[in-house]
Every structure is written in structure tokens, then in C-alpha cells.
């Protein structure tokens, strides 16, 4: 009866009052409006760039850049192209945000745990840290670290000498660093193979023991394999795979050694400390989301405090932690673009110079936006896959 009356009712409703149809129509209309607006925007943009003689071409990327870049992980000099300079910037961004993410995660986890500690002093210190860093702008923090701390270090002539030898001054930290000799690559290849073989042996032999119960000494065997190959590599490379690259004062600056520049360090420190405060809060909320009963049950089973944390609480907390953690990682990556104020030349800083030197604002900005978009999407893709793995498998 009800079905019948329903169908009768729907037959009676005229088209313009049928909610289902109205909904579809509303969606189509809004889609058309949005698409029309987009179309208008894009055509308008293309027309204006043509009119102003700034066509959307990327030929300039092959022209020599002409400007210096203070530090980078690729070889670069001013005679190389704008494209190369962009690449140097991209790598700089990836390195600083990659190391920032790792360091901020570790620091954030520690502070988040400290915040929940039953030790009153520890948890208050963590609280003070979090509130300080969450409530001042990142840019201020960067200036504080760069001009307030690193620039106030002793001048290069009065560097603090430390064992190693390593030297700390306002020009950065120079440390003695082992570098490969000519034959060093042989050693490196052998120990690389050693690591791979050791892992393979470890897993295979352990698998055999787990299945057959026969003792296979998997730990000792894999360690032996690794040591054997490493020692073989050492002798094959003539006993000197490395030489120590020691920094020494030459003229105005130290030469040689491994250098952490004040610009890079200030950026890394401020990004890490700032983001760690947010990650600490994420960690805290994740841990507090795990039911208290779980902890009590674990204690009742006789697990010790670190075991409760690593075996029971953290694996469950991860499910809550990861989604907001992803956005913190993305924030860190994007915030690295503030580096241009403290003289570290990453993607955005180099792009701004390129805009000025090549006079191509629109194409370069498009490139920058697309690059950041690609980095962010890639980061969230990887973390989303991981997130899916740690979620409950529901049956």
C-alpha cells in the first residue's frame, strides 16, 4: 500500500518540484558555472600573457643563469643554465625538508611523551616548549636563530676549536670528514654487498629455523658474512679506502672538511623545533586516544613501562597520529620556502632570483607551484599507503 502510494505520489510531482531532478540540475548548473569560470580564467590569462609579450614558454631555462648559489648538493656555477639552478634549489628543498621531517618526528615524539610524563617538571618543560613554539610565527623563530644565535657566534678568526679537529664560528661548523680515496669505491661496493648478503642470510636462515626448529645461528652467520666481505674490501682497496678531509684556515675561510652553513642550520633548526611542537601535540592526542584499559591490562600482564609504550600504546596510537602527521610534514616542506629571508637558497629563493634575472614571472611561478604540489602529493601518497597498512584490518 505504501509502495503504491509512493509511486503514485512521485508520478504526480511535476519535474520542477522533484527533489531528485532538482538536485541533479543544481549539480549540473554549478559544474557548468565552475567550468565556465575556469575556462574564462585560463583563456583570459593566456590572452593577457600574449598581449604583454610574456608568452608561456620555457626556452629561457636553457639560458645561462649568471647568478651564484651559495650552497647546493649538485655542482653548479653561474655559467650553468636556469634549469640547472632550479634543480639545485629543488634538491636543497628536498634535503632540508627531508632532514627536517626526520628530526622533527624524533623531537616531536620525545616532547609528546615528555608532555604525558608523570614527572611534573618534565611535563611542564614540554608544555612550555610546545606553547612557546606554537604561539610565535615561524619567521620570527628563523630570524631569532639566524641573526640572534648563529650570527652571534665568534668570528671566523676566533673560531671555537673542537676535537676532530672541527671548528665552530659564525661562518658555520666545519668538521673533519672521511672521504673516499681513489680505490675507496671498491671497499664501498664490497661492504654494500656484505650488507645485502647479511640481510638475505638473516631472513632465510631465520625462516628455516622458524619452520624446521633446527638451529641455524642466523645472527652469527649474517654478521660473519658482513665482516668477511668488508675486510676483503678493505684489503682489496689497498688498506686505505678513506682519507680524512680536515678543515684548515686558508685566507678568509676554512677550506676542506664537511661544512654545515649557518643558513642551512638555522633553517633546519627553526623548522625542526617549530614543527616538533605541533608533532608533540599530535603524538599526545594519539596516545591519549588509546583507552586507559589497554595500559592497565598490559601492566596487569607484567609488561614494563617502555614495553607498554612500544608494544601496546604506540602501535594503536599510530592510527590516530598519522593523518594529522601528514599535514605537519607537508607544512614543514612548504614552510621551508621562508628560507629566502635568512639566505638559504632553496627552490623558492632560486625561483625568485630566476624571475628577476630572466624576467619570466608567470612561467616560473607556475613551475614553483607545480613542483611544491608534486612534492606534497608524493609525500601524502607515501604516508597514506603507510597509513592504510597500520589501520585496523576490519573483517
**Interacting residues toward other proteins by CB under 8 A:** 52, 54, 66-70, 77-79, 147, 151-152, 155-156, 170-171, 250-253, 255, 262-263, 340-343, 345, 349, 352-353, 355-357, 359, 361
Rounded to a whole number of angstroms, the minimum distance from the CB of residue 57 to other proteins is 13
Residue 145 near residue 314, CB atoms below 8 Å: no
| CB closer to other proteins, 135 vs 250 | 250
Rounded to a whole number of angstroms, the minimum distance from the CB of residue 343 to other proteins is 5
| CB closer to other proteins, 105 vs 354 | 354
What is the rounded radius of gyration, in angstroms, for the C-alpha atoms of the chain? Answer: 29
| CB closer to other proteins, 2 vs 250 | 250
| CB closer to other proteins, 252 vs 392 | 252
Rounded to a whole number of angstroms, the minimum distance from the CB of residue 289 to other proteins is 43
HSE (CB half, 13 Å, CA atoms) of 125?
A: 10
Residue 315 near residue 298, CB atoms below 8 Å: no
| CB closer to other proteins, 119 vs 253 | 253
Rounded to a whole number of angstroms, the minimum distance from the CB of residue 39 to other proteins is 22
- Beta carbons within 8 Å of 123's beta carbon, 6+ residues apart: 114, 115, 116, 117
Q: Which is nearest to 281 in space by CA: 320, 230, 247, 243? A: 320
- Beta carbons within 8 Å of 112's beta carbon, 6+ residues apart: 126, 279, 280, 281, 282, 283, 284, 287
DSSP string, 318-384: HHHHHHHHHHHHHHHHHHGGGGGGGT---HHHHHHHHHHHH--HHHHHHHHHHHHHHHHHHHHHHHH
| CB closer to other proteins, 33 vs 249 | 249
| CB closer to other proteins, 242 vs 258 | 258
Rounded to a whole number of angstroms, the minimum distance from the CB of residue 166 to other proteins is 19
Rounded to a whole number of angstroms, the minimum distance from the CB of residue 251 to other proteins is 4
Neighbour-count burial of 104, counting CB atoms closer than 10 A to its CB (0-12 exposed, 13-18 middle, 19+ buried) = buried
Neighbour-count burial of 97, counting CB atoms closer than 10 A to its CB (0-12 exposed, 13-18 middle, 19+ buried) = buried
Rounded to a whole number of angstroms, the minimum distance from the CB of residue 224 to other proteins is 47
Task: Give CA–CA dist 250/247, Å, rounded.
Answer: 9
Amino acid at each position: 500500500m505504501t509502495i503504491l502510494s509512493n509511486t503514485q505520489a512521485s508520478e504526480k510531482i511535476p519535474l520542477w518540484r522533484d527533489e531528485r531532478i532538482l538536485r541533479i540540475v543544481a549539480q549540473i548548473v554549478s559544474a557548468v558555472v565552475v567550468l565556465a569560470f575556469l575556462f574564462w580564467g585560463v583563456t583570459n590569462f593566456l590572452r593577457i600573457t600574449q598581449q604583454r609579450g610574456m608568452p608561456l614558454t620555457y626556452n629561457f631555462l636553457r639560458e645561462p643563469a649568471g647568478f651564484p648559489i651559495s650552497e647546493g648538493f649538485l655542482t653548479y656555477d653561474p655559467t650553468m643554465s636556469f634549469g640547472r639552478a632550479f634543480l639545485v634549489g629543488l634538491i636543497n628543498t628536498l634535503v632540508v625538508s627531508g632532514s627536517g621531517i626526520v628530526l622533527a618526528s624524533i623531537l616531536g615524539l620525545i616532547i609528546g611523551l615528555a608532555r604525558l610524563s608523570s614527572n611534573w617538571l618534565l611535563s611542564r618543560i614540554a608544555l612550555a616548549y610546545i606553547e612557546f613554539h606554537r604561539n610565535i610565527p615561524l619567521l620570527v623563530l628563523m630570524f631569532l636563530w639566524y641573526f640572534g644565535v648563529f650570527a652571534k657566534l665568534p668570528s671566523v678568526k676566533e673560531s671555537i676549536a673542537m676535537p676532530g679537529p672541527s671548528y665552530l664560528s659564525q661562518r658555520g661548523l666545519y668538521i673533519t670528514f672521511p672521504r673516499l680515496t681513489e680505490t675507496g669505491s671498491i671497499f664501498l661496493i664490497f661492504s654494500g654487498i656484505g650488507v645485502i648478503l647479511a640481510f638475505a642470510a638473516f631472513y632465510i636462515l631465520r625462516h628455516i629455523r622458524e619452520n624446521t626448529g633446527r638451529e641455524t645461528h642466523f645472527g652469527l652467520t649474517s654478521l660473519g658474512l658482513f665482516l668477511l666481505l668488508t675486510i676483503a674490501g678493505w684489503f682489496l682497496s689497498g688498506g686505505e679506502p678513506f682519507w680524512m678531509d680536515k678543515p684548515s684556515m686558508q685566507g678568509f675561510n676554512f677550506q676542506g672538511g664537511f661544512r654545515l652553513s649557518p643558513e642551512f642550520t638555522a633553517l633546519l633548526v627553526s623548522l625542526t623545533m617549530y614543527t616538533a611542537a605541533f608533532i608533540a601535540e599530535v603524538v599526545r592526542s594519539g596516545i591519549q586516544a588509546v583507552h586507559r584499559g589497554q595500559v592497565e591490562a598490559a601492566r596487569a600482564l607484567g609488561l614494563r613501562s617502555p614495553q607498554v609504550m612500544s608494544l601496546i600504546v604506540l602501535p594503536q596510537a599510530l592510527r590516530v597520529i598519522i593523518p594529522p602527521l601528514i599535514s605537519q610534514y607537508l607544512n614543514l616542506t612548504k614552510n621551508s620556502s621562508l628560507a629566502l629571508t635568512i639566505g638559504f637558497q632553496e627552490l623558492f629563493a632560486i625561483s625568485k632570483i630566476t624571475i628577476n634575472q630572466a624576467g619570466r614571472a608567470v612561467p616560473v611561478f607556475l613551475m614553483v607551484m607545480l613542483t611544491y604540489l608534486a612534492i606534497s602529493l608524493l609525500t601524502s601518497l607515501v604516508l597514506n599507503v603507510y597509513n592504510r597498512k597500520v589501520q585496523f584490518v576490519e573483517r
